Every structure is written in structure tokens, then in C-alpha cells.
Structure 1
């Protein structure tokens, strides 16, 4: 659950904030659904009015890494043709440019792709009764590999919503909505919600343990389940073939998941109890992403038992206001929870060591914690 030390960072009023660096691409045509089913890692709903979340993976079977995490909205073009609008992170990265990449897969499909990044903005809203009204208790499917999938009630309404331009963000509990608006416009929620800067949405994601975009899900490096795409409802392990499927499905059935992205509290390495209610998260501003996180063994004064040094490192991802997201090895998480190790990261030109203390979001499936 959320540590007392960071509860003061939670916004307790209905809030709306812009989401920066997002781009949009429309997919229309009679083969739009079939085309997307071949390149998207989730099953594309038959109704072009339904929204959902997924990812596009690397085409090489030996890689299977994430290129883009994406939101897909039901969309109708100006001519009245139904299709899909894809939202993705447009920040510079190692991923191939989005539109040319998709064009390579069109072949003879009757599909039209258009860049609409100059037509739309996206905002996030959370914290009102409207955002809470459709959130239901989560049901999970667990695989022996450690993969976890949300199970949606087939008799209930579509979980991600079907209202034009309004997507229910089901990646985690309490994430709220994503709101599409015309470029330069504001959503109607600005009249009823507190209007916050983009950093407020970043903090909201971190506190709820939700990675997003090229910083948290590093293109050509991040594996889908390591990045929680399974838990966030972005993967389908039973649909037909799609780009990057082989390694993902093989890991689900016969592999084991060794890493997860979790929220972390950054603090002085000498702080003995960073979860005290009076403790304030502390960290320098502008900490760069992808710093190595070490797991250091803790030895008591009379403990001479030989133990192997923890292998591998984690990565600090997005961070703000003394909290962040981190890609952590589950064996290190287990050692920390047993009091046998602690997390550290060096920041700044002087390589000042900071301590990190992780927590499990309170919506996270309990068996995931136990299997770590």
C-alpha cells in the first residue's frame, strides 16, 4: 500500500492535466481491424468504437522487446468512415519512426494511415466520482511464469469505454480517464476539476505504479512483462499471430519473469525508517533516467555467513518530487523485503548515493508480491 511518507503527494481533489509529447495516427479502411490485429499485442475489438491499450513489439523473434506502448481510440474520420486513432509517445528514442514502421506492414491491405498529431491533444483526469463509478474489483489470471492478466467480465460493458474521445484508463485502479481534444483546446473538465501541470500527471502515474512512454518502457530494451504490460491489460497471450509474438508467448508458457517496474521512494541512504509518516521524500531535481540501481547486502555485526553478491542491477526510470519508477530484479526485491539487502543509486556529478525503498501498489495482485 502507499507508504505514509508519500501520502502527502497524493492529490485528493478532482484533477485534470495535459499529457505532453503525444502523437496520433489514424488507421482507416475495410481491413483496419485485421491489419491492427497483426501488429498490436492485444486482441483488437470488432467494434471500432471501443478503446483499448496495448503495445507494438520488435519483429525479430529473438528480441520481442517493446517498440511503443499505445492507446487506441474508436475514431470516425471527417468522411464518416470508422477506424482507429493510435496515441503514442513521440519523444526521441531508439524505436523506428512510427508511421514508416507501420507502412511496412500494410502490403496489400486496404488500410489508410494518416498522421494526425497536429489535430489532437490528450489530457488526463482523475479523482472525481465520474472516474470512480466504473472501477470494479479486479479479477486476475496467473500463469506459472509470473505473468498476470486482468480478467474482464464478458457480460459487462467494454472495460476501456466506448464514448467518443474518452478512454477509461484501466492500466491500474484510480488512473481515471484520458481525454482527446482538438489541438489547443481544453477538455470540459477544466470547469469542474483543478487544472494541474503535466508534472502532476507524471506524479499520479508514479504513485500508482504505472509506467508509460519511452523513459519507462525503453524501446528495443524493455521486455513486455518486465514492464507490467500484462498486468496493465496490454497483452493477449491467446490471439493469433502478431508482430513480436513468439518470445512473449513462449515466456508466458515456459519462461519466468525476473523483473518488474515498481514505485520507489528516494531518500538518504542513512535514513533508517523512510516510511515514517513524518518523513518527506528527498532527491535532487532533474535526476537522469536509466541510472543503475544496486542491491547492497546488509550484514549485522556478528554475521559472518558468506553470501553471494547480488547479481545484476535495476534501473531508475521516471522520477519527480522524491519518488520514481524503477525496473527491479525480483530476487533483489525479495532480499530487500527479508532485510538482507538495500537498494542504492548514485546521482549527480559527485555520484552521491541515495537509498531507494520500493512499495507494491495496493491494487497489485497479492500473489505477485508473494512470488517475488
Structure 2
């Protein structure tokens, strides 16, 4: 369960915020659906059913970009798409030249239209009705949302998407530069949105899903609906599907509370900034017994995005389970002052419950 005082720092009113560091590419042409279908980790239907969340992987199955794919009305009447992604520099090849190398002779046109759009996100109201879903669990620990009903879960509006990565996450919008967004929402900041998605355990962009290093299931792309394990060939498909059938998901990104050693407190004074990708060390707090063995303290976790006391971290699941039973604790050293902080993870309320073993 999340810390009780988390609700005290979350925005209570319907909010809309513009997101920086987001690029937008236009992909159009008669073979655009076929082109994207061979590269993205999810199905691209022709004609498109609507927008969705997906990812580009490299040949070894690591994540290059997590992306939102929006539909667009084109003057030719053919399907048009807009790809929204984190455009900051990273170890991954820049998106535009990466896609162009796969065009070959296909009838596809790719353009950078980032100067034409602003990316906004809205949350905190009943913007869209939730489409019911259940969960499909594999023995490997991979999880897939299974959508109920006959509605497309991500919405059907052009240049807009119902953000189904987590319950109550909200809606995402592409607004043409110069256009005003007329609604009754309060204007928030990117930091407000960061805290909102941290509270829901949603990883996003290069800070959380480290390009060329992150595995898709460890980054929760399966839980967030960005992977199709039954789809035919696409770049990175082999290792992803092999993990689904014969591997094991041992780590996940989860929300965490950073606090002084001991019981978490709502008032701890000034919170220092934590650099990205600090190591999180597991520490044993209980002794093993003859009746029950405790997990080995192997491997460190990693701290990703933070906002005050709250953050996202990649942790071994066996360590998380032990920590929730007070058998183990996580600690981190902030290099700015050398102070040791404790790291307490939790599973978000919407997180899928594993099936009961018979």
C-alpha cells in the first residue's frame, strides 16, 4: 500500500500540464501501417483502430524508445500516424535516422514535426470511461492486460490518447502550437505530473527506461500494454518472446518512499535531490530460520526519477516481497552529503494480483 501521507502532496483538482523533452514524428504513406507493424512491439492494424502505447526494441531485446502512437487525419485519406517519444540525447540512435534506415523502398514518409505540436497530459477527472480489463499471467511472471468490451481501450480520437498504462493515469494530447487548450482544468507543471505517475508506479522516458539497457518486462511495458507476445516478427521479438515462454521476470520498477532509517515520517525536513541511477542496497533485518530461508542479498537496485521523498526504482521482486514482510530493508547513500536513506517500495493499488497457486 502507498504511504498514507502521499495523498497530501498529490494535486486534488483536475489538472493539465505541458511536457517538455517530447519529440513528435509524422509517419505517413500507403505502407505506413505495414512499416510500423514490423518495428513496434505491438500490433499495428490496417486500417488503424485507434492510438496506443508501444515501444521500439533493438535486436537484443533491450528498449530503445517507449512511444505513444496517435492517429492523424491526412488530406490523402490514407492512415497517418504521429509518434511521441522522449527526444533527449541517449545511447540509442536518434529516432528519425533510426526509422529512416528501415524505409528502403517502402512508400513511407517520415518527418520531424516537433515544432508543430506541444505534448500535454491531463488527469484528475473523468475524462474517459475506463474499459474493463483482466490480466493474463505467464509462468515467467510476464503480465498482459486483457481488455473487455468492444471499445478500443486507448480511445479513438485523432491526436489524443486515453492513457491506459495505469488506472486513473488520465489522458494525453497533442496540441498544435499556438492553439489554446480550452477546458476547466488547472494548469499544473511537469513536476506535478511526475509525482502523479510516480504514485501510480508508471515508468516513462529515458530517465526510467534507460535506452539500450532496460529490458521491457523489467520496465513494466508488458503490464502497461506495450508488448504483444503473440505478434509475428519485429525487431527484438525473439528474446522478448523467449523470456515470456521460458524465462523469468526477476525485477520490476516500483514506486518507493525515501526516508530516514526507521519508520517513515511525513515531516523529515528538507529533502535533498537524488542523482539518477544510484545503487540501492538490500540489507537483511531478520535472521534466516530452519523453517524459512531468506533470499540471497545479490545485486543492487537502481533509483530512477524522484520527486521529494518519492521515486521509482528497479528492484528484485524477491527482495521486495521480503521487505514488505520486514525481513529485509533497502538503503541508499546520497553522494551530496553521504547520508544514508532507507528505501521502502510498494505495489500500486491497480497492480495486477498474481494468480493463486493450486
Indicate the TM-score class for this superposition, using the shorter chain for normalisation: over 0.9
Asked if the contact 1:266–1:282 (Cα under 8 Å) also holds between the matched residues in 2, the reply is no
- Match of residue 317 from structure 1: 304
TM-score relative to the length of structure 2: 0.94
> Residue by residue, what CA displacement relative to the aligned partner does 1:124-165 show, whole Å, maximum 9, x if unpaired?
11111224xx11343111100000000012x42111011122
> Residue by residue, what CA displacement relative to the aligned partner does 1:34-93 show, whole Å, maximum 9, x if unpaired?
11010000111323361000000012xxx2100000000001345554311000001121
Identify the range of structure 1 (46-55 vs 13-22) with the bigger mean alpha-carbon deviation.
Answer: 46-55
Aligned residues: 355
Q: Distance in 1 between matches of 2:293 and 2:44?
A: 52
Gaps of 5+ in 2: none
Q: Does 1:298 align with 2:285?
A: yes
Q: Distance in 1 between matches of 2:242 and 2:185?
A: 45
3-state SS of 2:147 partner: coil
Q: Distance in 1 between matches of 2:293 and 2:43?
A: 49
Asked if the contact 1:48–1:75 (Cα under 8 Å) also holds between the matched residues in 2, the reply is no
Pairs within 5 Å for 1:11-160? 11-48=11-48, 50-59=50-59, 63-77=60-74, 81-131=78-128, 134-153=129-148, 155-160=149-154
- Match of residue 185 from structure 2: 193
Q: Does 1:211 align with 2:198?
A: no
Q: Does 1:177 align with 2:171?
A: yes
Asked if the contact 2:67–2:84 (Cα under 8 Å) also holds between the matched residues in 1, the reply is yes
Identify the range of structure 1 (165-174 vs 80-89) with the bigger mean alpha-carbon deviation.
Answer: 80-89
1:241 alignment partner, one of 233, 241, 263 = 233
Q: 1:320 to 1:142 in 2, by over 3 A?
A: same
- Match of residue 158 from structure 2: 164
Q: Distance in 1 between matches of 2:193 and 2:147?
A: 26
Post-superposition shift, 1:224?
A: 0.3
Post-superposition shift, 1:2?
A: 2.7
- Match of residue 255 from structure 1: 247
> Residue by residue, what CA displacement relative to the aligned partner does 1:79-112 show, whole Å, maximum 9, x if unpaired?
5543110000011211101000011111121111
Post-superposition shift, 1:321?
A: 2.0
Q: Distance in 2 between matches of 1:43 and 1:281?
A: 47
Q: Distance in 1 between matches of 2:269 and 2:332?
A: 13
Q: Distance in 2 between matches of 1:222 and 1:361?
A: 21
Asked if the contact 2:197–2:203 (Cα under 8 Å) also holds between the matched residues in 1, the reply is yes
Gaps of 5+ in 1: none
Q: Does 1:331 align with 2:325?
A: no
- Match of residue 267 from structure 1: 259
Q: Does 1:364 align with 2:358?
A: no
Asked if the contact 1:123–1:187 (Cα under 8 Å) also holds between the matched residues in 2, the reply is no
TM-score relative to the length of structure 1: 0.90
1:345 alignment partner, one of 318, 332, 336 = 332
